[in-house]
Each structure stands twice: as C-alpha cells, then as structure tokens.
Structure 1
Amino acid sequence: MTWRALAELRPSLEATKGLLLPFSLRRWLALGVIAFFVSGASGANPNLSMTGGGPSEESPAVDSAPIDGLATLSDAEIVLALLVVGLAVAIGLALLLVGAIMEFVFVRVATERDVRIRGYVGENVSRGASLFLFRLGIVFVLLALFVAPVLAAFVLSPVFVVLAVLLVPAFLLAGVGLWLVLRFTADFIVPVMVVEDLGVLAGWRAFWPALVDDWKQYGVYAVARLLLGIGAGVLAGLGFVAVGLALLVPFGLVGAVVYLVFGVLVGGTWLAIASLVVLAALYALAVLVSGVTCVQVPIQTYLRYYSLFVLGSVTPRFDMVEAVRSEVGDPAGDRSPTDGR
C-alpha cells in the first residue's frame, strides 16, 4: 500500500519550483501578499501582564494612585478607550476575513499557475466569508472549552482547580480535535468548496465520506503535516533572523550617519531621535516584507501544493492539480481502488 502523504512530498516540491522559477519579482511580491495573510503573519499576540501585591505600609499614597486615577477617568476618556479597543477588534476581524479569502485565492493561484490577486478575490468573497464565520465559531468553542473552565477554577472554588487538572487529558484531546478540524478545513475543505461550489459546512459534508473511507491515508497526512508545520516554523524563524541581520547592516550605517549629522553636527537631539525612530520603523517594515517574500512564499507554496496533491491522489474526485501533476511527472494520481482502505 502506498502512503500518499509520503509519495507526494517530492512532486509537491517540483510543483513549487515550477511556480516560483524562473524568478519574477512581481510574482513573488504577489505571492508574498497571499502568504502574509495565509501564514498568520498578521495575527496579533497581545502580552497581558498582571502585577500583584497590596498597598505598602511605608508608601500607601504611591500604591493607591493608579486606583485613584482609574476612578477619576472622565466619560470622554472611557469612550476613547472603548473606541480604541473596538477599532483594534475591527481591524483584527478584517484581517481574519481577508486571510480567509486569501486561502481560496492561493488555491486558484496554485492550480491555475496564474499569479494574480484581484480577479480571484472577487470570485471568492462569499466562500471566504463562510470560512471566516466557521473559524470565528471555532474561536468561541475554544473559549468555552478552555478559558471558561480556567476562570471558573480560579474564581469560584479550589474544587474546580482539582477538576480542571483531572480534565487535562480531555482538554488535550479536544485541542487535537480542533487542530485537525482547522487543519483539514484549510487544506482540504477549501479546495472542496471551490470544486463543488459549496459553503464550508456543505464542503465538510461532501468530504466526510472520503475521509471515512480513506482515514488511514488522511491520518498519515495529519502526522506528516504536523511535522512539516514544525519544520516550517523553525525554518521561517531562522529565515527571518537571517533577513533581519542582513538588513541590519545597511540600516545601521544609515542610522549612524543620521545620528552623526543631526545629533552631533547640527545638535538637534530630538530631530536625531525622531529620525532614528522613523528609520527603525522602516527597518521593521523592510524585515517584514523581505521575510514574508523570501522566506514564507516558498514555504507556504510548498505546503499548499502538498495538501492539494495529497487530496487529489487520495480522492480523485477533488483533484484540482491534475494538470500540474502531469507537468511534474507525478504518477501518484493513478491510485489503486483499495489504497489506504
């Protein structure tokens, strides 16, 4: 029995090279826009910190000042804070929606071998909205499964702490299940939705019989995809570090010149600081654009082809890369009716 998840590793690499080479800056930049959203590079990672400790007997006025400050917030300041939070949430949801649409754009780019964004976005807005709502529902499920019990454990009673510890295996199992749902939705349901012109739930209903029939093949894929994801994360991290170090040299030289001119010769300290802040922002933007384009584009393109090749070889009904498969000489499409069963 041939394991398709292993057989499609090399053909997926050949298909990736066929799309990315010969090098074209326009093509790589367009793929960089797609990879930016698909890879989750736009996701926020808020860092919430909590400090403990009661008021000190030596300096009670200092410790109580923040509380007094919060109590004296004006209505305008509260409204402004709510507006800032609402704007951040709106931006986050907009980025998630664009990321969902880009999943379908990426599939069309990979299968058509035509790297463009505008036309593909217009025809996939409704599918992207369906995927966005599905992912939002998963987020709420995660909150219900993990956050709510933890809060109950620390707020209600120590008994809930013991109960939460006892339920750790169940939490882990639920986490694995949700990861599989999200992973298979992005890798398999998205192309199924394109092939069958369905919403995300209808796409799952269409894919479910194939998943049940070839559960061994898709199980091996899940393990291989997990390992590939870990390797891709490590490689992307190293790549971004390399890009950052490479760009640090020219930006560092420019920064030294700026400080010498404005800070030393002209004597404008604040002007020098402002210029360095702007330069630091440009450096961060350059690292992001260069890193996504040079590092994430080949990684995400390979992973996208890999899922499409496995899906098409295991379940030919949903094969979207038949033409690409013939280009790279992949014989895995000629599957035996009993493979993986």
Structure 2
Amino acid sequence: MTEYFAFSKIDSALDKTKAILWPFNLGIWLRLALISLFAGGITAINPFQFTGGPSEMGGLNTAMPGMNGFPDMTLILLIVFAVIILALIFGYLSAVFQFIFVDCLRTKEFRIRHYFSERVGKGARLFGFELAVSFLLILLVAVAMIALIAGVMGTAGGAMNIMIFFTMMLAVIIIAIPIAILFMLTIDFVVPIMTADDCGVIEGWKKCWNVMGRGWLQIIIYIIMKFILSIVIVIIMVIIAVIAAIIIGVPFLLAFIATAGLSAGTILSPVSIILLIAYVIILIPVILIISVPFVTYIRMYSLDVLGAMAPEYSMTDVYDEEGPDRPDAVTESVTEDNLDDN
C-alpha cells in the first residue's frame, strides 16, 4: 500500500516540533519569534501597510493654503516611495530568513546572526526570483484588467457587463493560483534544496522538479494538505491571538476610562494615544510568541515531507538520532553552546 507522506508526516512533524520547543527555553522561542516575523509566519501583522484613506489625507490638506482641496501630491509620492522601499527591505530580509529558518531547524542551532551572514547571497537570489514572478503576476493581471475594461466599454448590456466582469475575475484567480503554488513550493522545497546543494534558485528548481517527478500524486496531496493545515492553524492562531489581545487590553481599557476626564471629550487625546502605543508595543511580541509553535510546525512538516520524498534532502533525521544530539538535548545544546554567539 502506497504511503502518502503528506499524511504520515503530520504526527512526525508534531513530535519534532515538541522536541524543539519543550522544555521551554526563552532564547529559542524569542529567536523563532523573530524568524516568524520576517519569514512571513504572521500575516496579520504588516508593519509596512499604509492604511490612511484618501478622505483622511484630503481633510488634512484642505487646511493647507494654496492646495484648493487637493492632497499634497509630493507628500503622497514621498509616502508611497518610503512604503515601497520599506517593503523591498522587508521582502529581502524575509527571503534571507527563509534560509535561516531551515538552517536553524536542520542543525538545532539557533544562531541567527551567524546564519544571516552566510545567507545574504542566497536571500538576494530568492528575492530576485520572487520579484520577477511577482512582476509577471502583476503583468498578467494588468492584461486581464485591460481586457475587462475594454470588454465592458464595448458592450451595452448590463447583464453582459456583469458576465464579463465575473469571467475576468475568474481569469485572475486562475492566474493567481498557480503563482501562489509556485511560491509555496519554492519556499517549502526549493529553499531547502538550495541550502543542501549550495545552488541558485533556477538550479534548485530543476532539482526540485526531478524530486517532484518521482511522485506527482504525492505533491498534489501535499499541496491540498498544506492548504488544509494552514487554514486550521490560522484559525487556531487567530482565536488565541484575539484572546490574548483582549486579556492584554483590559488594563489599558481601564486606564483609559480612569483618565477619560483628561481627554477633554476627545478619543484621540495624548493620554489615549500613549496608551494605544504601549498596548501595541506589548501586543506585537506576544502575538509573535504565540505564532512560534504554529510556524515551526508547518515548516517542520514541509521539511519532513521533502525528506521522505527525497532522502538526499532529509534535514530532520537529526531529531531521530540517539545520544547527545537526541531531540530532548536541543534546548541544552542551544543554551550552553550557541546563545552566547548571538
């Protein structure tokens, strides 16, 4: 009977995740929390997201003399430019941390600074690949949108316009799904292969293609299971994060109520702003810590599946060894030998 690794490695990845995270070691958890932030483990926290609406900016600039009610385009362009630069920096760091994550899990040595210096080159290659694919996606979506606009303008019937709209939306989804799968397989399989064979993205993808060719049904089942596991994990993570946010927010809410008399009838008083900033400063690290077991598990799961499909790329066997490198020795090893290096 055929063994489908996407099923058989669910429990195995859980056991190996427990070996890393328990007994509890604050140094390991903090390092994994940092990795979670940059490796895309927390999609709910985006420090580079620009949420200011046009009405807010319009209200600000109408008070400026000589603007005639129009927003200051120079300021807007500067903000957009700054957001793009920050997003590119974050994207590059995210690419580097994908390799750092694999290095930490396969060696059981959580030395972020050490691995960072070794992975800046590979991170740049991965980032360039992601930019190229993203540009292709934007180009395809732009073509679809142009076709949509042309189709709507060329037809008179409202029902026909609606049909064209939904047809083009379906086309966009059909374009986006393969790109999303490409990104997922690049992170899950190509990054470990690049790490093991010290190669570039294209060469890594060639080797990954050969691995996938050994069992396409295994890959299809893995993609489906990864999707299901990700949904379950996100739901559980959100529930725990919301509970934590409420618990942490209670004292700040009480402090806000107690100081309401100082707000002069306005919500955005200096006191409330200070309380809000303090709340966010405390909440973000807590949510990152909450994400650690979930992010670690899903990464360990992909490494386990890759190692089962291609033993030459097995990176989690170290957790099955006996002796000083056994799983329950992870915390001790990291604490005594590696934390001082960071």
Note the alpha carbon deviations across 1:64-107, whole angstroms, 9 max, x for none.
x89x9766879xx5433322221111011111111111111111
The answer as to whether partners of 2:148 and 2:168 remain within 8 angstroms in 1 is no
Note the alpha carbon deviations across 1:202-257, whole angstroms, 9 max, x for none.
11011111111211111111110010111122112112101101101222233344
**How has the CA–CA distance of structure 1 residues 195 and 304 changed in structure 2, closer, same or farther, with 3 Å as cutoff?**
same
Q: Which residue of 2 aligns with 1:14?
A: 15
Residue type at the aligned position of 1:132: F
Q: Which residue of 1 aligns with 2:278?
A: 282
Residue type at the aligned position of 2:124: A
Distance in 2 (alpha carbons) for counterparts of 1:83 and 1:169 = 35
The answer as to whether partners of 1:153 and 1:159 remain within 8 angstroms in 2 is no
Farther off after superposition, 279-288 or 122-131: 279-288
Q: Which residue of 2 aligns with 1:248?
A: 249
In the alignment, is residue 172 of structure 1 matched against residue 173 of structure 2? yes
Q: CA deviation at 1:116?
A: 2.6
**How has the CA–CA distance of structure 1 residues 49 and 83 changed in structure 2, closer, same or farther, with 3 Å as cutoff?**
closer
Residue type at the aligned position of 1:290: V
Q: Which residue of 1 aligns with 2:77?
A: 82
Q: CA deviation at 1:179?
A: 1.5
**How has the CA–CA distance of structure 1 residues 72 and 172 changed in structure 2, closer, same or farther, with 3 Å as cutoff?**
closer
Question: Which secondary structure does the structure 1 equivalent of 2:269 belong to?
Answer: helix
Distance in 1 (alpha carbons) for counterparts of 2:267 and 2:252 = 18
Q: CA deviation at 1:36?
A: 1.1
Distance in 2 (alpha carbons) for counterparts of 1:13 and 1:318 = 19
Q: Which residue of 2 aligns with 1:205?
A: 206
Q: CA deviation at 1:320?
A: 1.4
**How has the CA–CA distance of structure 1 residues 172 and 24 changed in structure 2, closer, same or farther, with 3 Å as cutoff?**
same
Matches within 5 A, 1:227-242: 227-242=228-243
The answer as to whether partners of 2:144 and 2:171 remain within 8 angstroms in 1 is no
Residue type at the aligned position of 1:116: R
Which one of 79, 86, 94 corresponds to residue 91 of structure 1? 86
Farther off after superposition, 163-172 or 89-98: 163-172
Farther off after superposition, 140-149 or 298-307: 140-149
Distance in 2 (alpha carbons) for counterparts of 1:289 and 1:258 = 26
Distance in 2 (alpha carbons) for counterparts of 1:137 and 1:304 = 24
Question: Which secondary structure does the structure 1 equivalent of 2:81 belong to?
Answer: helix
Q: CA deviation at 1:125?
A: 0.6
Distance in 2 (alpha carbons) for counterparts of 1:214 and 1:271 = 59
**How has the CA–CA distance of structure 1 residues 225 and 19 changed in structure 2, closer, same or farther, with 3 Å as cutoff?**
same
Question: Which secondary structure does the structure 2 equivalent of 1:123 belong to?
Answer: helix
Q: TM-score, normalised by structure 1?
A: 0.80
Question: Which secondary structure does the structure 2 equivalent of 1:124 belong to?
Answer: helix
Q: CA deviation at 1:149?
A: 2.0
The answer as to whether partners of 2:9 and 2:301 remain within 8 angstroms in 1 is yes
Note the alpha carbon deviations across 1:248-271, whole angstroms, 9 max, x for none.
1222233344446x55xxxx8899
Q: Provide the aligned C-alpha RMSD in A.
A: 3.1
> Of the two, which has the highest radius of gyration?
1
**How has the CA–CA distance of structure 1 residues 215 and 284 changed in structure 2, closer, same or farther, with 3 Å as cutoff?**
same
**How has the CA–CA distance of structure 1 residues 40 and 241 changed in structure 2, closer, same or farther, with 3 Å as cutoff?**
closer
Identity rate of aligned residues, in percent? 25
**How has the CA–CA distance of structure 1 residues 142 and 71 changed in structure 2, closer, same or farther, with 3 Å as cutoff?**
farther
Q: Which residue of 2 aligns with 1:102?
A: 97
Residue type at the aligned position of 2:200: G
In the alignment, is residue 194 of structure 1 matched against residue 195 of structure 2? yes
Distance in 2 (alpha carbons) for counterparts of 1:151 and 1:145 = 10
In the alignment, is residue 321 of structure 1 matched against residue 322 of structure 2? no
Matched length: 307
In the alignment, is residue 153 of structure 1 matched against residue 148 of structure 2? yes
Farther off after superposition, 143-152 or 17-26: 143-152
Matches within 5 A, 1:31-110: 31-38=32-39, 39-41=41-43, 42-43=45-46, 44-45=48-49, 77-110=72-105
- Structure 2, gaps ≥5 residues long: 56-61, 156-160, 328-342
**How has the CA–CA distance of structure 1 residues 18 and 45 changed in structure 2, closer, same or farther, with 3 Å as cutoff?**
same
